[in-house]
Every structure is written in C-alpha cells, then in structure tokens.
Homo-oligomer: A and B are copies of this chain.
Amino acid sequence: MKLASLKNGSRDGKLVVVSRDLKKAVAVPHIAATMQYVLDHWSSLAPALAEVYQGLNHGTVQDEFVFNEQECESPLPRAYQWADGSAYVNHVELVRRARNSEMPPSFWTDPLMYQGGSDDFIGPRDNVEVVSEEYGIDFEGEVAVITGDVAMASTPEQARSQIRLVMLVNDVSLRGLIPNELAKGFGFFQSKPASAFSPVAVTPEELGSNWQDAKLHLPLISHLNGKLFGKPNAGVDMTFDFGQLVAHAAKTRNLGAGAVIGSGTVSNKQGTEYGTSIDEGGLGYSCIAEVRMIETIRDGKPATGFMKFGDRIRLEMLDAEGKSIFGAIDQQVVAYQAP
C-alpha cells in the first residue's frame, strides 16, 4: 500500500492512504490520524489500511479526493530517528577522493552511517532554504526505509522483517561546511540541513519483484533544472542491503518504531572505474559532488558548480510502465529568510 501525510497546519500532518496510481487519496481518521501512530501500532492497524488501499484502487471507498503531491509533508514530517548509511561505496570513494582522503578497505565490510536531524524534515515540494550559496549546496538522491521496532543486536535477517515502508530522499548536503566539520572528528552536523522525503511511502510488498534482498532494484531518476542528471539503479552496487544497514544502526541500541534508515547516495560504477555522467552517455549520478570528482579526474578541476538560489532538483522513480511510484521530490533552493 501507499501512505502519505498531507499538510494540515499541524506538526505531524494528516495521514492519508494514496491509490497505486497516485491520483486519489482518502483520510482514515477512524484508523489513525498520523503516520507515526500507524508505525506505533503497525501490526494492528496495517490490515485495515491495506483494506482501504484495495478499496481506493477499486473505486469503492467513500470520501476519496484528488491526491496532490504539492500538499504533502514528508511521510513522517518529523521522526524520532534518521540515520543515513553510505551503502553505495562508489559514492564514498569518489567523495573522499574529492576531499583528498583515502578510503580504508574496511569500508567494504563495515557500513558508514551518520545520524541526521529528524525533528524538522521539509516536504517533498518545499523550498530548500539555505543561508548562503557559499555553503556549497548539493542534493543527494537516496532510498530510505522506515522500520518498526528493532531490538538491539538484531541480525540483518531480523532487521529485514522490520522494514515497514520505503521512500526516496533528498539528503541535502552543504559541501562547503563538510571538510571543517569532519576535521573536528564528530561527523556531519551543520553540513546536513533538513532532508526531504518523497510524497508517498510504500510497503515493500507493493514494490513486487523490484524489492529483492532488501534492495530496491529500479533507477533513481534525477533532473537538475529540468535536465536529466542521473538514472543509476538503486539495486546495483549497493554493498550493504537495508537489513544490514538497519542491523548496523541497532548494534548497541533498540530502534523505535518509525526510525528512518537511509541508503546513502545512489551510485553505480557502470563497468567503469567510478561511473560516467549523462553527458558522457552514462547513467549519471545522484549528487553534484560525484560529477565534480569525475570532472577533476578527467580535466584536473571541476566544471559543474554546486546549486545556486533558484536551482531546482527533481528526484523520482518509475515503474515498468513509466508511472511514478513514490511521487516526485521537486525542490527549489532559495535564500533563507529569518521569520
């Protein structure tokens, strides 16, 4: 099934069930008012929601209305946990090379993961507000899952069974702030402002054969200012599946229902050393930093700039029939105005 949270002036939005084709939605106040409430009571509420979903797809529910992605919050407008891995090690290798930093071989066996801010996600069509272009504004196209309760020290297999929903993410990154922040040794903080998630969160079974081995086997399509920027397959070159990432996050702690775990930037090697850009006939990338690195390797310096105020990024994933599965993240970068 497909679920979304509509903006309604509250901090948590209004839970709706969305039809498979993303054309219709229906509120379910008799089942749950918010996405977090569903996740808190998944096993008792999911069957009723699935029934509504079937009815919505067959046109047999009352009070359905036109679904509008513009009105969406992120599926969890705020969450108790947002931990982002780096499962596409190609991305890590490239970005570290861009920072003149060697990648230890252990990165192929021990996932990288940072904890992000989850108290104020932005919606999939909200502006990305940044104080200064000098921060080096970049997008990162990723896949993320929302978990149920995951017990400490769960195995990857146990963790896989706790994956409730799948989404796309724009993990906005401020490249200019990263080197100084990582040099301090405590990881990302200011360099990772609010993330945005796709309008719709989708159960793994809804993804059918595209969800296998706890990976999503479809291209993640990104357009920067309307021009195709990347279409790498999220199921390819993913060194750690979502079960491994969730288990990594839970090694020394329980994860509470509604924890969001990200894949890291989707990146394919495409049979080359580091992948190839769209302009070169390749599958492209899911962030600007990787293109800049390829340019540096090829030309000695990067040619592509980071995002400027007014620039727009669109992230989407299509099914075999070319229909959007999660709806689109489509955001403009703008100058932050203090309230």
Question: Which residues of A line the B interface, CB within 8 A?
Answer: 11, 40, 78-81, 83, 86, 101, 104, 106-107, 110, 112-120, 129-131, 135, 151-153, 174, 177, 182-191, 193-194, 248-249, 251-259, 336, 338-339
**A152-B338, A177-B252 given; 20 more Cβ-contact pairs under 8 Å:** A78-B80, A78-B256, A80-B80, A81-B119, A83-B117, A86-B186, A110-B184, A114-B187, A117-B253, A118-B118, A129-B152, A131-B251, A131-B252, A151-B338, A152-B193, A186-B187, A186-B188, A187-B188, A193-B253, A194-B253
Residue in B closest to A107 when the chains form the complex, CB atoms: B184
How long is the Cα–Cα vector from A301 to B193 in the complex, in angstroms? 42
How long is the Cα–Cα vector from A186 to B116 in the complex, in angstroms? 11
Which 10 residue pairs of A and B lie closest in terms of their CB atoms, listed nearest first? A187-B187, A119-B256, A80-B119, A81-B119, A115-B115, A193-B252, A114-B186, A120-B256, A186-B187, A120-B254
| CB within 8 Å for A194 and B11 given contacts A80-B78, A151-B339, A189-B115 | no
| CB within 8 Å for A190 and B80 given contacts A11-B40, A151-B339, A338-B151 | no
How long is the Cα–Cα vector from A17 to B254 in the complex, in angstroms? 29
Determine whether the beta carbon of A185 is less than 8 Å from that of B187.
yes
CB distance from A277 to the nearest CB of B (A): 26
| CB within 8 Å for A189 and B114 given contacts A119-B258, A120-B253, A151-B338 | yes
How long is the Cα–Cα vector from A257 to B77 in the complex, in angstroms? 13
Determine whether the beta carbon of B251 is less than 8 Å from that of A118.
no
> Which of B106, B117, B182 interacts with A81 by CB under 8 Å?
B117
Q: Which residues of B contact A186 (CB under 8 A)?
A: 86, 112-114, 187-188
Residue in B closest to A184 when the chains form the complex, CB atoms: B112
Q: Which residues of B contact A339 (CB under 8 A)?
A: 151
Determine whether the beta carbon of A117 is less than 8 Å from that of B118.
no
- Between A112, A118, A249, A259, the greatest number of chain B beta carbons within 10 A of the residue's beta carbon is seen for A118
Q: Which residues of B contact A338 (CB under 8 A)?
A: 151-153
Residue in B closest to A187 when the chains form the complex, CB atoms: B187
Residue in B closest to A154 when the chains form the complex, CB atoms: B338
22 residue pairs bridging A and B, Cβ less than 8 Å apart: A78-B80, A79-B80, A79-B119, A80-B118, A83-B189, A112-B185, A112-B186, A115-B117, A119-B258, A119-B259, A129-B152, A130-B252, A131-B153, A131-B251, A135-B252, A151-B339, A152-B336, A182-B185, A190-B248, A190-B251, A193-B252, A194-B253
Residue in B closest to A135 when the chains form the complex, CB atoms: B252
CB distance from A118 to the nearest CB of B (A): 6
Q: Which residues of B contact A40 (CB under 8 A)?
A: 11
